[in-house]
Structure 1
Amino acid sequence: MGKALIIGAGGVSNVVVHKCCQNPDVFEEICLASRTKAKCDAIVASLPETKTKVTTAQVDADNTQEVVDLIRSFQPDIVINVALPYQDLTIMDACLETGVDYLDTANYEPPDVPKFEYKWQWAYREKFKKAGITALLGSGFDPGVTGVFSAYAQKHYFDEIHTIDILDANAGDHGYSFATNFNPEINIREITANGRYFKDGHWVETEPLEIKKVYDFPQIGEKDIYLLYHEELESLSQNIKGIKQIRFWMTFSQKYLTHLNVLQNVGMTSIEPIEFEGKQIAPIHFLKAVLPDPASLGPRTKGKTNIGCIFQGRKDGKPQTYYVYNICDHEEAYREVGSQAISYTTGVPAMIGAMLMLQGTWKKPGVYNVEEFDPDPFMDALNKHGLPWHESFEPTLLD
């Protein structure tokens, strides 16, 4: 059916390539490209036998012309960006120049400013519309599936949704004293930023991890959850009708937060460069280099994740509550594709989004977040491709 250029060769990319190759009728040919070609080759070497033709290439995703040259050489129908969020715009520029559809899993973030905003990518709406190509933003889990869950709830169970609480729980244990489950730099920048949530038409800002609650999650039990800002709040606050409040919560163990606090206190999480032995280096870049590679956590991580959304609103004039969530097992994910559940829950939705675009199901010129499309085919695909969801109409609510 189509050809996909996949840029990036980390844990999420590994999942995307494996899941695309499980669907060779849709993904007939793949080119996997990264700054380090050897990483691409290692992913390809780990693949089971597949009818999908897979090749690799070297590309610097910071360089639009290199991406343009690769696109023109391979001639894909879609570019799946699972590189770093800093590279979103250069890859979008390359897609514009070559007239190819685009998909990513995380919004653009300037390297020197820890801001998670869609404004830079939303500014491309008219350009993509004029070029007749589609850009699908944030087709991971959160953002991604959480947006699909929201659109699904709005379509089927509510006349109006008043509140959304997004809950991201990881009960996995990798045995290290301190490690991050995805890119350490992105992860730490996200956690150490101020919290923010949407309420009554405006944004309320909090200190980092200021607001804490305890929630009893299906299958993984009670966990400490902390209010963070997450990019899907920005798009959902605009795209879900009647919304009065939307918050994002993530679990952290006390051990993790103690380590993070110490690292922050001594300046190791700073993105401001310092001079060291005659070179400029951001402390967080050095920290990233000494922490375990997230891609290495797969074989040693046990436990489950639980990510979902709790909705409150009204249906037929009556109050309605609805909770929809997915549970993913780290060890099962590793057995299937060689990556832990954090990468799996991001990589599977990226494949599904790309599949729906290639099939023409999710396709219209412009730049869109996932909740702007019909959620039903995506929800069906989650059940078929490894991320089955569960629902409850009487969940425990957060005050």
Structure 2
Amino acid sequence: MSTVLVIGAGGVSSVCVHKMAMNKDIFTDIHLASRTKSKCDAIAASVKDRTGVDVATYEIDAEEVPAMVNLIRKVQPSLVVNLALPYQDLPIMDACLEAGVSYLDTANYEPKDEAKFEYHWQWAYHDRFKEAGLMALLGSGFDPGVTSVFTMWLKKHKLKTIRQLDILDCNGGDHGQAFATNFNPEINIREVTAPARHWENGDFVETPAMAKKVEFDFEGVGPKNMYMMYHEELESLAKFNPEMERARFWMTFGDEYIKHLTVLQNVGMTRIDPIKYKGKEIIPLQFLAAVLPKPETLGETTKGNTNIGVIATGEALDGSGEKTFYINNICSHEAAYEETGNQAVSYTTGVPAMIGSAMMVTGKWAGDGVFNMEEMDPDPFMDMLNAHGLPWQVKELDGPVDF
């Protein structure tokens, strides 16, 4: 029997809670809390309608540690699943330590006043979790998350070492909006507008945001422009694969998205520093996020596929020289919406959050301290991807990618 407490009530949380309810043999008691209880209630109603499973709901400010501790002690979960904003990672980890419960999230901590995606804040919690006999699993989404598991599966089954790694994230969906983000607008725009960084020869190399663009033909989507940018799994992948010469992250964006984002940047709407407006302090990006369509409302209108995967080149396990493999998942927006009421960007993060949670509560992944996905056995996670809506495929390419 496992009781879980999920924090956050966006699209990713909706998918995760739906999938937990579909696996009630693993998740026997599900609790959901967020700052806005009505959002939790809406998810719970959908889960009840689709699965017949009851989800208990609560109102909570995840940044208020004493309130979080009280809620955890009331619910008594074996795991807290943090699907709130990255700013809230550390307070929730503090609450888990005080209440004596293990922790999982999908995105690393980010300070509110700077677009800085790094793990060092959370890695610093390792000894405290270890001494408490608790486990914290970081980044159990798709990227980060599945992309790290893909990489380590290749290293376990195909490649002795990895020399080059490219992570390719393509959203080929069309939601009919002039400008909307498929996950939290504030986090999305902070990621995209931050300087790009990639790993090369033992260090990170920084380049201007969106400066490097190449076209790639994605199966199930077609040719798309993808841009090199920084993503947090590059940091953990470099740490746990020290032999890597180069690692890069690529994400696709349409011309309309780039055009709108450029204008918003030029007029100052993507700023994250506070400004005065009619005697009150506001942060322009937070105001912009408030007026853009909510990602969880895009499911019904989004059509098409996502295609996310990794291309890795290295020394073959069988001693046959250097080889290149491409492992990826293609996910349908329409199928994701039919199953959970959410589009595929939320689905591809929410399902891995459920699977990571299952790994922990069943004991297939265990340990005392703070861990990244790369440190865990990829096989049981990969098996669950195939069984729960995110089937993957792997193929050998003719040689290293040249872009």
TM-score using structure 1 length: 0.99
Distance in 1 (alpha carbons) for counterparts of 2:3 and 2:54: 9
Distance in 1 (alpha carbons) for counterparts of 2:39 and 2:143: 26
Map of 2:373 onto structure 1: 370
1:227-272 CA distances to partner (integer Å, 9 max, x unpaired)? Answer: 0000000000011252111000000011110000000000000011
Partner secondary structure for residue 189 of structure 2: helix
Matches within 5 A, 1:143-292: 143-292=144-293
Which amino acid is 1:142 matched to?
Answer: D
Distance in 1 (alpha carbons) for counterparts of 2:249 and 2:135: 28
Partner secondary structure for residue 46 of structure 1: helix
1:393 matched to 2:399: no
- The Cα of 1:53 is off from its aligned counterpart by 4.1
Alignment match of 1:331 (pick from 331, 334, 341): 334
1:344 matched to 2:370: no
Matches within 5 A, 1:96-135: 96-135=97-136
Which amino acid is 1:385 matched to?
Answer: H
Map of 2:83 onto structure 1: 82
Which amino acid is 1:372 matched to?
Answer: E
RMSD (CA atoms) = 1.0
Distance in 2 (alpha carbons) for counterparts of 1:353 and 1:68: 23
Partner secondary structure for residue 92 of structure 1: helix
- The Cα of 1:378 is off from its aligned counterpart by 0.3
Distance in 1 (alpha carbons) for counterparts of 2:153 and 2:266: 43
Map of 1:22 onto structure 2: 22
Identity of aligned residues (%): 58
Partner secondary structure for residue 309 of structure 2: strand
- The Cα of 1:286 is off from its aligned counterpart by 1.0
Partner secondary structure for residue 298 of structure 1: coil
Gaps of 5+ in 2: none
- Using the TM superposition, name which of 211-220 and 325-334 deviates more: 211-220
- The Cα of 1:126 is off from its aligned counterpart by 0.5
Map of 2:3 onto structure 1: 3
Q: Would you say the 8 A contact 1:27–1:52 is kept in 2?
A: no
Partner secondary structure for residue 220 of structure 2: coil
- The Cα of 1:307 is off from its aligned counterpart by 0.2
Distance in 2 (alpha carbons) for counterparts of 1:223 and 1:140: 23
1:379 matched to 2:382: yes
Map of 1:353 onto structure 2: 356
Map of 1:70 onto structure 2: 71
Q: Would you say the 8 A contact 1:161–1:312 is kept in 2?
A: yes
- Using the TM superposition, name which of 343-352 and 51-60 deviates more: 51-60
1:127-158 CA distances to partner (integer Å, 9 max, x unpaired)? Answer: 00110010000000000000000110110101
1:43 matched to 2:43: yes
- Using the TM superposition, name which of 240-249 and 253-262 deviates more: 240-249
Q: Number of aligned residue pairs: give it.
A: 399
Which amino acid is 2:23 matched to?
Answer: N
- The Cα of 1:317 is off from its aligned counterpart by 5.2
Distance in 1 (alpha carbons) for counterparts of 2:75 and 2:54: 12
- The Cα of 1:50 is off from its aligned counterpart by 3.9
Q: Would you say the 8 A contact 2:44–2:54 is kept in 1?
A: no
Distance in 1 (alpha carbons) for counterparts of 2:211 and 2:145: 26
Over 3 Å counting, the alpha-carbon distance change for 1:145 and 1:317 in structure 2 is same
Distance in 2 (alpha carbons) for counterparts of 1:398 and 1:147: 22
Q: Would you say the 8 A contact 1:151–1:240 is kept in 2?
A: no
Which amino acid is 2:336 matched to?
Answer: A
Map of 2:324 onto structure 1: 321
Which amino acid is 2:303 matched to?
Answer: K
- The Cα of 1:98 is off from its aligned counterpart by 1.2
Which amino acid is 2:130 matched to?
Answer: K
1:149-172 CA distances to partner (integer Å, 9 max, x unpaired)? Answer: 011011010111101100000010
1:266-290 CA distances to partner (integer Å, 9 max, x unpaired)? Answer: 0000011111011000111111111
Partner secondary structure for residue 256 of structure 1: helix
1:299 matched to 2:300: yes
Distance in 1 (alpha carbons) for counterparts of 2:55 and 2:196: 42
1:23-81 CA distances to partner (integer Å, 9 max, x unpaired)? Answer: 00110001100111111001011113546442101110010111100000010000000
1:277-328 CA distances to partner (integer Å, 9 max, x unpaired)? Answer: 1100011111111111111100000000000000001111501110000000
- The Cα of 1:398 is off from its aligned counterpart by 3.3
Partner secondary structure for residue 288 of structure 2: helix
Partner secondary structure for residue 355 of structure 2: helix
Q: Would you say the 8 A contact 2:309–2:329 is kept in 1?
A: yes
TM-score using structure 2 length: 0.98
Which amino acid is 2:166 matched to?
Answer: D
Distance in 2 (alpha carbons) for counterparts of 1:394 and 1:189: 34
Gaps of 5+ in 1: none
Distance in 2 (alpha carbons) for counterparts of 1:200 and 1:144: 24
